[in-house]
Structure 1
Amino acid sequence: MTRELPPILLAAGGTGGHLFPAFALAEELGRRGYPVDLVTDMRGDRYGTGFPARSVYQLPSATPGSKRNPIALARAGFTLLRGIRKARKLLRNLKPAAVVGFGGYPTIPPLVAARMLGVPSIVHEQNAVLGRANRALARHAAAVATSFRKTKKLDGPLAGKARFTGNPVRDAVIEAAKTPYPPLDPGGPLHLLVFGGSQGARFFSEAVPPALATLPASVRQRLKLVQQARAEDVAEVTSQTAAAGIDAEIAPFFKGLPQTMAGSHLVIARAGASSVAELAVIGRPSILVPLPHSLDSDQLENATNLAESGGSWCIEQRDLSPLRLATELGKLFEQPEKLAAAAARAKAQGQAGAVGLLADLVEDVIGKRRA
C-alpha cells in the first residue's frame, strides 16, 4: 500500500513576481503527488482562484517601512505578531513537511512559525539580489534556492546554504517556449509587446505612444502593438495609438501573456524577476527598463544579467525619453537578424528545468528525494 505523501506549504507575497514561481512549484509538486497549500497576504486573493493548491490561506502581514517612523514600525510589528500567532495555529492544523517561502514580508509569519515548530523551511530568491525579508529568514532556513548563479548579499554563513535552481516558470510558459521565434519578413507585421507589471505600467503609458508616433509611417503601418496599461490610462493610450495609425490592443491585464510573448518580435518590459525568467525561457529579445528606486536595485541587477548575455538591452528610465525609445526601436526593426540573434541568446539563458530542481531540493530537505 502506497503511503500518502505529506503536504507542503508555500508562502508568497501578493505580487506576481512572488506568486508565479510559487505557482510553478505547486504544479510540479502536484505532479509528484504532494498536497500543496498556499499562504499569502490579502493582495493574493486575486490569484487564489487559479492557484493549483488545496487551499489558499491569508495571514496578516506588514512591511516595516521607515525606521524614522516609530508608530508605523510598532503597527507593523503588531501586525506581524498577529500573523505569526495565526501561522502557528495553521501549521499545527496542516502539519506540513516543509514550508517554502518566495519572498516578501507576507512570508515572515509562516516561516517564523515553522522555525518555532521545528518544521524545515526553504527560501527561494527570484532576484539577483537577496531581498530583505529573505535575508532575515535565510539564517534559519535549511537552504536558499537562487535564480542566478551569483546573488548579491548572499554571503558569509548564508553562502553555504545557497543552491542554484533558477527561477521556476509556470506550465503556460513552458508551453509557450515551444513556439519558434517568428520570422520578421520585410514588409510584414512587427509584433511589439509592452507590459510594466503592477508598478511600471504608468511610465510606459506615457512614454511608448509618443515614441511610436514618431516612427516612419511605413513602420507604424506594420506595427501590431499589445500594451498593458492601468485601467485609468487605457482610453488615453488607445486614443494616441489610434491617432498614430497603429493597430493596438490596450488592456490592464492579459491572461495569456506567455503565448502573447511567444508571438512577439520584441518586448518592452520592466525587469522583475518573473518577467526576466519568462523572457529567457521563451527566448524573446527585449528592451528592459528597470523600475527606478527599487530596493537594492534588484531590477537593475536582473536586467544587467540578461543584457550581458546579449539577450536584451537594458536602458534605465532616466535615460529613456520618447525620442531615445523611437531611435532604438527604429534601429532594431531595421535589423531583423539582430533581433533573431538576441532571441537565441536570451533562450540560451533560460532555465526551463528550474521547477524540477526546486522540487528536488524540497524533497531533499524533507528526505523524500526519489532515486
Structure 2
Amino acid sequence: MAEKPLILLAAGGTGGHLFPAEALGVELIKRGFRVRLATDSRAVRYSGLFSRDMIDVVPSETVRSRNPISLARTAVMLGYGGLVAFNLVRRLKPAAVVGFGGYPTLPPLMAAKLLGVPGIIHDANAVLGRANRFLSTRVNAIATSLPGVLDRDPALAGKATTVGTPMRPAILEAAAVNYASPEPNGELRLLVVGGSQGARVMSDIVPPAVEKLDSALWGRLALTQQVREEDMARVRAIYDRLKIKAELAPFFSDLPARLASTHLVISRSGAGTVAELAAIGRPSILVPLPGAIDQDQFANAGVLSQANGAVRIRQAEFTPDWLAGEIAAFAAEPARLTAMAANARKVGRLDAAERLADLVTKVAGI
C-alpha cells in the first residue's frame, strides 16, 4: 500500500504563524495527507496539532538591525538552516512545502526551490511580510488572507489566490457562539490582550483608563487582561483598589472561548488576531504596533475599522482619557457594540483552511 503524500508546513514559532499552519494541517489530515512542521526552537513549546515527533527544528535567525555583526550572524544562521532544511526536504520528499511567514520559513522553502519541490506561501497580513516578500518570486503560488494585497505588483498578482486565514478548530467552535449584547446596566465584559507575549502599553493605559471611569461603572466591569509577569503587581494593585472584577494572567490557553464570551476586545492588531476577531465577530479597539517597517498592523486594523467592526487608534493617541471615554460611550450605548460585532463577522472567512488545502493539492498535483 502506497504511503500517503506528505505536506511539509513551515512557520515561524509564534501563534500568528503557527495557528494557520495548524488549521491547514487539520484539514490536510482529514483529506488523508501526512503533515510535518518545520520551524524554529520556539515552537517546541507549542501544544496544538503538532506533537514533538511531528516537528523538525530548523536553525534560523531574524534580521534585527542593520548592524554588520548582527547581519553577519543572521546570514550564518540562515545559511546553516538552509543546509539542515536541504537535507530535511531531500530525506522527507514532501509533495509540497507551505510557508506561513517568518524567517524560519526561508530555509525550507529555498530548499524546496533547489530540489524542485512545489512551494506555496500564505500571508495573513494586509501587506506581505519581509520573509514572504523575499520568497514571493521563488514559489509556485501565493495565498493571501485579504484581497488586493498584490494588486500593485502584476507579476505576483498572477499567482496569488485570496483564501482567508485558516482557522484552528477552537476558533471555529468559538465562531458558532452568537454575540450576546450587554444588557443596559448589566455586566460589561472586556478582554484585553497584547499578542503572544503581552504588551506593556496595555498595562500602562488600561488600568488608569478604568480608574477614570465613573465609579458606578466599576461594578459592571468584568475584565480579563493579559499582563506580563513584570507588570502584574502594579496592574493588580489598581484593580484591587477599585474593587474591579479582574482576571489577570500572562497567557490564556483558552483565548478563543474567552473571545466568544466577551463584549469588547482591546488588542494589538496582528494578522491572526484581526482574522480571529472577524471570524468570531467581536467588536474591538485595535492599537497597532508602532514603528513597524511595513506598518502591517496598521493596515490589518484598517480592514476591520473600514468595515465599522473596530475602532483603530494609533498608540500615541491611545491615552487613559481617550480609552475611558470610549469604554463609557460603549457602556451607555450597547447597540453600537452589537452592530460592530455584526460588521466584523461580515469580514470573516470560516472556510479558509479548505480553500488553502484546495490550492495546495492543485499546486502539488495530487
- With structure 1 as the length reference, what TM-score do the two structures score? 0.95
SS at match of 2:308: coil
The answer for the alignment partner of 1:355 in structure 2 is: 353
Matched, 1:189 2:187: yes
Instruction: Tell me, yes or no, if the aligned pair for 1:271 and 1:288 is still in contact at 8 Å.
Output: yes
Q: Deviations over 1:173-208 (max 9, x none)?
A: 000111111131122111100000145521101110
Give the aligned partner of residue 172 of structure 2.
Answer: 174
Tell me the equivalent position of 1:316. 314
Match of 1:132 in 2: 130
Give the counterpart of 2:77 among 51, 54, 79: 79
CA distance in 1, matches of 2:192, 2:36: 33
- Partner Cα separation in structure 2 for residue 348 and residue 190 of structure 1: 23
The 5 Å alignment of 1:109-258 reads: 109-151=107-149, 155-198=153-196, 200-258=198-256
Work out the CA distance in 1 between the residues paired with 2:151 and 2:133. 8
Q: Provide the rounded CA distance (Å) in 1 between the counterparts of 2:326 and 2:272.
A: 24
For 2:323, the aligned partner's letter is L
Task: Please give the alpha-carbon distance, in whole angstroms, between the structure 2 residues aligned to 1:269 and 1:301.
Answer: 15
Q: 8 Å contact 1:200–1:270 — kept in the other structure?
A: no
What secondary structure does 2:158 align onto? helix
Matching residue's letter, 1:22:
A
SS in 1 for 2:343: helix
Q: Partner letter of residue 31 of structure 1?
A: K
SS of alignment partner, residue 295 of structure 1: coil
Q: Contact conserved, 2:189 with 2:222, CA < 8 A, in 1?
A: yes
Q: Does 2:52 match 1:46?
A: no
Q: Is the 8 A contact 1:130 1:153 kept in 2?
A: no
Q: What letter is aligned with 1:96?
A: P
1:26 corresponds in structure 2 to 25
Provide the residue aligned with 1:92 in structure 2: 90
> C-alpha separation between the residues in 1 aligned to 2:125 and 2:287?
15
**Matching residue's letter, 1:188:** G
The structural deviation recorded for 1:274 is 0.5
Whether 1:334 and 2:332 are equivalent positions in the alignment is yes
Which amino acid in the other structure matches residue 220 of structure 2? R
**Would the aligned equivalents of 1:27 and 1:52 in 2 still touch at CA under 8 Å?**
no
Report the secondary structure of 2:127's partner residue: coil
User: What do the CA deviations read for 1:227-251 (whole angstroms, capped 9, x no partner)?
Assistant: 0011111222111111112100000
8 Å contact 1:241–1:247 — kept in the other structure? yes
1:37 aligned partner, one-letter code: R
Consecutive unaligned residues in structure 1, runs of 5 or more: none
Give deviations 1:324-345, integer Å, cap 9, x for gaps. 1000111111111110000000
Equivalent of 2:363 in 362, 365, 371: 365
Rate the CA distance shift 1:153–1:15 in 2: closer, same or farther, 3 A.
Answer: farther
- Deviation per CA, 1:135-178: give whole Å up to 9, x if none: 11110111100011021586131111110000111110000111
d(CA) in 1 for partners of 2:65 and 2:249? 34
- Unaligned segments of structure 2, at least 5 residues: none
* Cα contact 1:227–1:248 (8 A) shared by 2: yes
CA RMSD of aligned residues (A): 1.4
Tell me which amino acid in the other structure corresponds to 1:19: L
Q: Which residue of 2 aligns with 1:64?
A: 63
* Alignment match, 1:271: 269
The CA deviation at 1:133 is 0.6
Q: Which amino acid aligns with 1:221?
A: G
Q: How many residues were matched structurally?
A: 365
